[in-house]
Chain A
């Protein structure tokens, strides 16, 4: 890939017309709730400039985030992103391997030092001196630290790189960390989700490439354009929540009628993402629409927070999914016994005082 060619030249080489690119940019800006006229301006700006160098590093991950980014099942308009950026290194896609791929990365980093966009997916294990995740004889941690030095910005794509994700969950056997736990001196944008929605990844990337600015971020460093609203606030089943109509099991009448899934553990109220508006697979559906409550996969520690099939207002007592009656009964029994001891002792002391008073 010739990263010196302008984006416009690359697009023409790939048979993408100017109008097609305007369409792509318009769809991206409207998805980010930016003014739609920015689409044409973004297309114009991007077409003139050189393709920004992007280095994509994958660490302790399942490749789901990369699949989401790639959308390898069917080519859609999002594939245009690969004409806009110059993906100079990605170990999942690139044909080269071994030394050739490592030298490709070194060359890309050297040629674009200080200017490349570093995309990271997967968490970074530090256990066993980093041996839990190595490539080319180097640990993930060492590779990340090296790559971060010349990066203009780091996009932590997916919950694993943004917050540690599944590897970070208790007991965290590999001592995994998110990107922000390893790199402290570079701007980091977290595009969380397990995986993130493809349009969210491409939209965030495009906005940075066009404007050179990091978008407005929330307290977890996620772009507010996509993570500013909770699923609950945009959910089409919200009227059922407000009306107090909840599905109690996955196959009852409420579930068949599409009622609110709060009592089946939906984490919509505490999860911030664009699933309810952008949806998945080009706007086809999202978990709640398919009948399963939100798991909260774009939030920190979502796995350890548990309560996937119990309402968030319930007590966290005993094992998930089991009735809490037995452990509560045992605990209450012990507390009642303790209270009885204190009560009898207290009454005994009181009676003694009564007796003393009457004797006088």
Chain B
């Protein structure tokens, strides 16, 4: 019996994707966390407890640009936060997504937003995300710093959003084809996740905390 695309996307393909995701994420987290921190030969400026707490504080303070730089990078940061919030709303407050997550994890579903509201949020999020690429392409500095990882990650994430919108709007093909393509794009994202910049989801807080702690030890808390 040949399997149809939808059954493949949410069956074997999803299994492989989740498998690669877990293997890759744990690999990268441990591969980074178990590395030795370069030994500091200078005298610690404060106690261990203090510089750990300052490190934790730094995750908050470094989550928004320093006042001196707000004018230059504030808009970009705000753009980033906006589309992240939009993504979380769409992923966690849309009926079929909640059905997927709760079915997979065996947990009780939570209340969701009307589908029309989610569509509106998704359209705004996709527009902001397009703005992110525009910013990256039009800024000389950003262009200089950008590599394959940046562009490919943007492409895969945008693919998930666009295929989701097309499925929701029943646009362009039969529903089961659109849903299969959407789930396959999510599978692709899960497979790419551990190997690209999406790992910032796991790195971002620890790295800010670590930077803050190291600097606090040196007596330069920010």
Chain A contact residues, CB within 8 Å of chain B? 168-170, 172, 230, 232-233, 241-244, 246, 248, 262-263, 269-270, 300-301, 304-306, 310-317, 323-326, 328, 331-332, 335-336, 338-340, 342-344, 346-348, 350-351, 354
Contacts and interface: CB of A to CB of B under 8 A. Distances in A.
A359 B21 CA distance: 36
A68 B151 CA distance: 57
Contacts of B7: 304-306, 316
A330 B92 CA distance: 24
Given A241-B115, A301-B4, A339 B27 contact: yes
A316 B23 contact: no
A65 to B, nearest CB: 22
A271 to B, nearest CB: 9
B145 interface: no
Contacts of A350: 31, 34-35
15 contacts: A242-B115, A244-B112, A262-B96, A263-B95, A270-B174, A305-B4, A314-B103, A316-B14, A325-B106, A328-B104, A343-B27, A343-B31, A347-B30, A351-B35, A351-B36
A343 B179 contact: no
B115 A263 contact: no
B163 to A, nearest CB: 13
Q: Which among B11, B104, B105 has the greatest number of chain A C-beta atoms within 10 A?
A: B104
Contact of A335 (B23, B32, B95): B23
A313 B1 CA distance: 22
Contacts of B155: none
Interface string B173-215: 0111001000100000000000000000000000000000000
Contacts of B26: 335-336, 338-340, 342-343
B99 A343 contact: no
> Which of the four size classes fits the interface of chain B?
35 or more
A270 B175 contact: yes
Would you list the 6 A-B pairs with minimal beta carbon distance, nearest first? Answer: A343-B30, A339-B26, A325-B106, A347-B34, A335-B22, A346-B31
A237 to B, nearest CB: 13
A348 B18 CA distance: 26
Contacts of B14: 315-317
Contacts of A348: 34
B115 A311 contact: no
Contacts of A331: 15, 18-19
A317 B27 CA distance: 24
Contacts of A343: 26-31, 34
Given A324-B103, A354-B35, A313 B4 contact: no
Interface string B88-102: 000000111101100
A304 B1 contact: yes
A169 B3 CA distance: 12
Contacts of B94: 244
A66 to B, nearest CB: 27
Contact of B96 (A313, A315, A324): A313
Interface in B20-50: 21-36, 38
Contacts of B113: 244
B10 interface: yes
Contacts of B179: 269-270, 312-313
